[in-house]
Amino acid sequence: MRYVILVTIMCAATVQAQTPQGQAAGQGQGQGQAPRPVVVPGTQAPRPASGVYPATQPDDDAGFEPIFDGQSLKGWDGDSQFWRVENGVIVGESTPERVVKVNNFLIWRGGVLRDFELKLEFRMNGANSGIQYRSSEMPEVGKWILKGYQADMDFTEGYVGNVHDERGRGVMSRRGEVTRIGDGPAFKVVGSIGDPTLLRGVMNVNGWNQYHIIARGPVLLQFLNGQLMSVAIDEDTKNAAAEGVLGFQMHTGPPFKIEYRRVRYRKL
């Protein structure tokens, strides 16, 4: 019951404001300059108390720790032909000469994720990527191969916001939905967050975006630029994962570039 209450509260608190496409939020970072954070719409101004409504304050990074030092891949492990640090940003890039033959990941070696929050900013110029969490390594398949929960993203916005299960059950919760996953697995839509087509517009194409992931028990919440995109309640006793690693995806397909910065982690 407590998980249903949590989801209800989070859905009610969802910010409906959207970042217009083409607005390069957070751009302008140059060599030696600190990155300007993405401005999350609707979360900056506190509201005073009014009647039965208490005063609010904007979310902040209290309790979060940076897990990328902005200078190197210390604490991270991935294929060096695809991953590097450039101008204070983690860069994953494939080229016609360096082709991704199988989805692989840059893995954080600093700890195991259980109940946590993660905030980061990303920018991509094509193809598909994702953020793995509570994931497992598959050495029998290859080095830097992961399976498990993923906050999906893609340049065409077809999958962005989905809760995906890499090498597992596929899409667990579609953008715009709250989905309960039971044994079987069986997928039951509990409710709607918003129109999935309109929610495509939340992503700032060609610009910086903020992904915010909260995982607590079986409840997985994924926010993009302050907008709740999808919720999965994973009660599948065979397949649910209580812990695992964090990783950034290099996806197969045409050459593309994905960038990550301001990676912050909070253990719950």
pLDDT digits (tens, 9 = 90+) for 132-180: 999 999 999 999 999 999 999 998 889 999 999 999 999 999 999 999 9
Q: What is the pTM of this model?
A: 0.87
Looking at the predicted structure, is the pLDDT value of residue 194 above 70?
Answer: yes
62 inside domain: no
CATH number at residue 239: 2.60.120.560
pLDDT at residue 42, rounded to an integer: 60
Q: Is 250 part of any domain?
A: yes
- Give domain status of residue 50, yes or no: no
Is residue 60 situated within a structural domain? no
Interval 197-235: pLDDT, tens: 999 999 999 999 999 999 999 999 999 999 999 999 999
**Residue at 176 is within a domain:** yes
Per the omega criterion (within 30 degrees of 0), is the bond before 20 cis? no
Provide the domain count of the chain.
1
Residue 123 has a CB neighbour count (10 Å cut-off) of 22
How many whole angstroms separate alpha carbon 14 and alpha carbon 28?
29
Tell me whether residue 130 is in a domain.
yes
Please report the DSSP string for 55-103 in residue order: P------TT-EE---SS--TTEE--TTTEEEETTEEEEE--SSS---S-
> Does residue 31 lie in a domain region?
no
In which domain, by residue range, is 208 found?
2-13+75-267
